[in-house]
A and B are shown apart, each in its own frame.
Chain A
Amino acid sequence: MTSLAYTRFELVRTFRNVRLLVFSLGFPLILFFIIAGPNRNEHNFNGSGISIPLYYMVGLVAFGAMSGLISSGSRIATERTDGWTRQLRITPLKTTAYFCAKVGTGYAMAGVTMILLYASGLSLGVSLGAGRWLEMTGLIVVACIPFAVLGILLGHLLTADAIGPAVGGLVSLLALVSGTWFPLGSRGFLHDIPQFLPSYWLVRASHVSLGGQAWTAGGWIVIAAWTVVLAILARYAYLRDTARV
C-alpha cells in the first residue's frame, strides 16, 4: 500500500522532469543514429556477418538500460540535498518499500530507453526473431539489477555535485571494458577481468541476439553476488544517511 503510493509518486516525478528525460533517453538514441546511421547498409561488421545497426542497437540497449538505472542515484543525491530523505525518514515508509520504489522507477526509465532503441533499430532495418529478442531482453533485465542497487548506493554516498561525474565516468568505463563499443579480445587481461563485472554479463546478454551464447552459470553467480553485496551496502548507506546535507 505505502510502497505503491511512493512508487507512483516517484514515477510521476521522474517522467515529469523533462530535462532528465531528454538527456537520459535522448543520449543513447543520438549515439545510435550517429554510429549506425551512416553505416546502415554495412551487414558484415568486421567480417562477423553482423549488421552494424544491430550490433550497436543491442550494445546501446545494454548501455542505456544500465545508465538509466544508475541515474536514480543522481535523483537521490538531489533529494538528500533538498532534505527530502530526512523528511521521508520520519514517516512509516519501510526501507524495502523505499528500495522497491527506487528500483521500480529506474526500471521504468530503462524500459523506455530499451523500447526507443528497439524502435530506432527497426527504423534502420534491424530485424530480430521474437525468441532471440525475448531472451535478450529478459537477461538484460536481470543483469541490470546490480546497477539499480548501485544507483541507490551512490545516491546515498555522494553529494549532488559529485555524483554526475562519478556516474558518467563509471558508466563509460564499464561500457568500455565490457565490450559495448567493440568486441573484447579472446584472451588476456582485458578478457579475464571483465568476466567478474556485471556489465560484462549485461553486454553478453545483449549479444544473445548477435548469435552469442547465453549466460553460463558464472554469469548468474556474478550477477547474484554483486546484487547481494551492493544491496547490503546500499541498505547500510540508506540507514545511516540521516544527517543534514
Chain B
Amino acid sequence: MRPRRSRGIVAGMQSDNTFGTIGVELRGAAKSYRTAGTVVHAVRGIDVSIARGETVALLGPNGAGKSTTIDMLLGLISPDSGSVSLLGGPPKEAVARGMVGAMLQAGALIRDVKVRELVTMMAALHPDPLEVDEALELAGLADIAGRRTHKLSGGQAQRVRFAIALVPDPAVLILDEPTVGMDVEARRAFWLSVRAFAARGKTIIFATHYLEEADAYADRAVLMSRGRVVADGPTSEIRARVGTRTIRATLAGVDTTELASLSGVTAADRRGEAIVLICSDSDAAIRALLDAHPDARDIEISSAGLEDAFLELTADPGDAPNHAGQQEALV
C-alpha cells in the first residue's frame, strides 16, 4: 500500500489553488453524432467556465446535451469543434493524473465483487486516494461493504458509484444524474455527503433534471436546452429572469381588473375569498396592495418555482423547426 498524505496538508494545498483559478472550461464546444443516416446535434457550441471550488448544476430536460457535455469534460469523447479543458489542460491529462472522479449513468455495477473490493481496487488505481473506509463512510456504505455488487438495490448501487467517484479524492467530481433510483431519504443523505465533499474545496459538477436539487445544492445552474446553454447563473438569478413572484391574500369584494392595475402586478385572479397576484415587482405590488386595501390578510409571497423558470426558458419556440435530415439530440 502506498502512503497516504495527511489531511492537513491537503486542506492547505487546496486553498492555494482555489481562488479564481479556472477548474473547467468549455469554449464553443460542439458535438454531433451520426445515427442511422441522420445527424444529431447533441451539443451546439457552448461556453461555460467553472472556477475551482464551485458547485455547478447542469440542468435540463432529457436530450438537452447534458450527458454529452459530461462525456466531453471527462475526455470520453472529443468535441467536433471548440475546446474543453479540465484543471488547465486536456481532460485526458487530468484523468491520467487521477484528478477526476465521476459517477456515470450506467446499466449495472460490475458483477462478482464485494463493495469493499471494488472500492479498494479503484483506490489502488489512483495516486492519492482517500482511505477506503473514509470513502465507504462518506457514501453511506459502511454497513453493506461486504455485499456483492449485483445483489444491491438501485439506491445502494448508486451509492457504490458515488464511493467509486469519491475514493480517488478527485479535485473535480462529476456526477451524471446521481440520484436516479434513490428514495427521498437516500437523496437527502447523498446530498449531505456531496456538500461535505464540496467543503474540502472540490469542484463539483452535476447533471440533473430535478430542479429542486439544482436549487438546493448548487452555487450556480447552467441551464441547457437542445444542445445550447440558455441560462447560466445563480439559481435565484435564473428564477428572476422569468421574473415572477406570486402574492396570495384573502381579500373579499375587490375586482380583479382593479387588482391587475396595481403597480408591479401583471395579472390577477380570484379564487373565492382569495386573490392571486402575479407580479413583475413583488415589492412594489405588496406596497400598492396594502395602501389600497389595508384589510388584505393571510398574505403569502412566493417565488415561482424553478420549475416554472425552467419551462419558460427551455421552451424556445425560435429554436423549434429542424432542418431536413436533422433530429434533436436524444443523448
Contact = CB atoms under 8 A, between A and B. Distances in A.
Contact of A86 (B2, B104, B109, B118): B104
Given A9-B121, A12-B117, A91 B168 contact: yes
B125 interface: yes
B124 A12 contact: no
B164 interface: yes
A86 B124 contact: no
For the residues of B in contact with A, the DSSP-based class is: loop
Contacts of B105: 83, 244
Interface of A: 1-2, 5-6, 8-9, 12-14, 16-17, 78-79, 81-84, 86-87, 89-93, 242-244
B36 interface: no
Interface residues of B, number: 35
A9 B113 contact: yes
B320 interface: no
B109 A91 contact: no
B96 A92 contact: yes
Given A13-B111, A92-B95, A92-B97, A87 B164 contact: yes
B127 interface: yes
Contacts, number: 86
For the residues of A in contact with B, the DSSP-based class is: helix
Contacts of B96: 92
Contact of B106 (A5, A87, A242): A87
A86 B108 CA distance: 12
Contact of B121 (A5, A78, A90): A5
Nearest to B96: A92
Contacts of B75: 90
20 contacts: A1-B124, A6-B121, A12-B112, A13-B112, A14-B112, A16-B113, A78-B111, A82-B107, A82-B109, A83-B105, A87-B164, A89-B74, A89-B76, A90-B100, A90-B101, A91-B122, A91-B168, A92-B95, A92-B125, A93-B125
Contacts of A91: 95, 98, 122, 125-126, 168
